[in-house]
Amino acid sequence: MPRTLFDKIWDSHTVNVMDGGPTQLYIDRHYCHEVTSPQAFDGLRRRGLRVFRPERTFCSPDHNIPTHDQEKEIADEISRRQVSALTANANEFGLTLFGIMHEKNGIIHVIGPENGLTLPGQTIVCGDSHTSTHGAFGAVAFGIGTSEVEMVLAGQCILQPRPKTMRINIHGRLNPGVTAKDVALYVIANMTTGGATGYFVEYAGDVVRNMSMEERMTLCNLSIEMGARGGMVAPDQTTFDYVKGRCYAPKGDDWNRAVEYWKTLPSDPNAEFDREIDFDGADIAPRITFGTNPGMGMDIDGTVPSPDVAGDDQSLRSYEKSLNYMGFSVGQRLEGHPVDFVFLGSCTNGRLEDFRAFASIVKGRKKASDVTAWLVPGSWAVERQIRAEGIDVILNDAGFELRQPGCSACLAMNDDKVPPGKLCVSTSNRNFEGRQGPGARTILAGPLVAAAAAVTGVITDPRTLI
């Protein structure tokens, strides 16, 4: 029978299927950061266990680390303890650690691909929901909980119910000024935040095939925001060209054999999915969110829509609560609305191409005087590339400062917190209440929209500045 990309990888990693229960799935790559791992290591100690296959786990602190003065001791006690615990646990259990200030340190979902650790055909897990990022390489990648982190450390396997399969086809071509982030926010708004619950999504169609690997990572990163277990793109020449030559990628004859295998992974013709959905890329414009979940989005030149919750009083109250928190109202145009903060970074948009896009807008312009901007590379490798290409000079000339790598203002677990009531245009992945700091208000957007807001001081359609 014809099989999907997901089926091929899942089936080849199935160790056992419990009668009427979950699958015991072998895990190729395990990523570990400082937030969800301490309890898992404590569990190993209580049980007198070692890590079963330490060479398959890679660690990097990212959530809690500051994005300035990383060469100094972390000031915040909780953050310092969490980062120190990861260092101690990695050393005790013999795991590879890219510690703070290490040349390979960065956000775990950035450094995995850029070091060639993330490969097509793999199963990949991490105690972080945005592990779906790695599916861009044609991998089954998903986030897991702390008890499951312990399970993988102890036995390199995990118990998981088999998800259903969905293919989302995005046809045609994107218009100028439309980024992968806009595509993702458009899909989420149409699918709703629960529209893909229980599914593993494969993205396909001309728009996806024409995306770079970094754009595909942005798209897959946000799969979880519509409820999907993960997202993936079939590996192709774009994938192989990105992976080849990277530090941990196969070399020589191993590379040739790997590519031959990877070429067998794309979904077979006539493979059946449990659900299939089509979108037209020409319908997608630059996007922003207006509420407190990633599904509450609209075209940047549109108006805040009325709630589509007829007869559902609870959903209506939730919608109204969200607008009240943001300080917006139905029918309001947000274009031209003042902003206080701009954040470029995160595992969604903290890669080199995102900084190139941001720089393309701010070049020859100046940062708005009343905007605080945090520009945070996703890794030290990205930071080095920014400087090698002279992007840092463009940013500096425009009045921006390049910070050190980390998760930064994606979430309020480090020093980069948006103050209460302030409005931030953010390239991150979640806009929940308090996500960027208690009382902070978040508008999700792509790097072009963020750059336009940073130089104008208001929500601005980037197409007017291109």
Tell me if 280 is assigned to some domain.
no
Number of domain units in the chain? 2
pLDDT at residue 308, as a whole number: 86
Please say which residue of 275, 300, 323 terminates a domain.
Answer: 275
Query: Is residue 333 located within the same domain as residue 412?
Result: yes
Query: Is residue 352 located within the same domain as residue 251?
Result: no
Tell me if 283 is assigned to some domain.
no
Query: Is residue 54 located within the same domain as residue 173?
Result: yes
Query: Is residue 120 located within the same domain as residue 179?
Result: yes
Query: Is residue 445 located within the same domain as residue 329?
Result: yes
Q: At what angle do helices 213-221 and 352-362 cross, to 10 degrees?
A: 100
pLDDT at residue 79, as a whole number: 96
Contacts of 123 (CB under 8 A, 6+ apart): 9, 10, 13, 25, 26, 27, 28, 29, 139, 140, 141
Tell me if 94 is assigned to some domain.
yes
pLDDT in tens, 164-205: 999 999 999 999 999 999 999 999 999 999 999 999 999 999
Per the CB < 8 A criterion, the answer to whether 23 and 11 are in contact is no
Q: How far is CA 232 from CA 203, 240, 433, in A?
A: 6, 15, 29
Please say which residue of 275, 297, 328 terminates a domain.
Answer: 275
Q: For the CA atoms of the chain, what is the radius of gyration?
A: 21
Query: Is residue 259 located within the same domain as residue 385?
Result: no
Tell me if 367 is assigned to some domain.
yes
Query: Is residue 261 located within the same domain as residue 378?
Result: no
Tell me if 281 is assigned to some domain.
no
Per the CB < 8 A criterion, the answer to whether 129 and 343 are in contact is no
Task: Count CB neighbours of 234 within 10 A.
Answer: 19
> Rounded to the nearest 5°, which phi and psi values hold at 333?
-85, 130
Beta strands in 145-223 (DSSP E): 157-160, 164-171, 199-204
Q: Is the pLDDT of residue 367 over 80?
A: yes
Please say which residue of 224, 253, 275 terminates a domain.
Answer: 275
Residue entry with tokens 């969200």: 322
The encoded tokens of residue 330 equal 């139905």
Tell me if 355 is assigned to some domain.
yes
Task: Report the alpha-carbon distance of residue 183 to residue 208 in Å, rounded.
Answer: 10
pLDDT in tens, 415-451: 999 999 999 999 999 999 999 999 999 999 999 999 9
Task: Report the alpha-carbon distance of residue 38 to residue 49 in Å, rounded.
Answer: 15
Query: Is residue 182 located within the same domain as residue 311?
Result: no
Residue entry with tokens 């990163």: 221
Query: Is residue 168 located within the same domain as residue 237?
Result: yes
Tell me if 437 is assigned to some domain.
yes
Beta strands in 50-182 (DSSP E): 57-59, 96-97, 123-126, 140-143, 157-160, 164-171
The encoded tokens of residue 89 equal 């646990």
Query: Is residue 226 located within the same domain as residue 314?
Result: no
Q: Return mean pLDDT, the chain.
A: 97
Query: Is residue 352 located within the same domain as residue 457?
Result: yes
Q: How would residue 309 be classed by pLDDT, with cut points 50, 70 and 90? A: confident
Q: Is the pLDDT of residue 311 over 90?
A: no
Query: Is residue 125 located within the same domain as residue 174?
Result: yes
Task: Report the alpha-carbon distance of residue 389 to residue 73 in Å, rounded.
Answer: 31
* Domain of residue 310, residue span: 288-464
> Which contiguous run of DSSP H or E holds residue 297?
strand 297-299
Task: Report the alpha-carbon distance of residue 277 to residue 320 in Å, rounded.
Answer: 30
Q: What share of the chain is helix, strand, coil (3-state, %, to 5)?
A: 40, 20, 45
Contacts of 143 (CB under 8 A, 6+ apart): 125, 126, 127, 128, 129, 130, 131, 132, 224
Tell me if 348 is assigned to some domain.
yes
pLDDT in tens, 28-56: 999 999 999 999 999 999 999 999 999 99
CATH of the domain at 10: 3.30.499.10
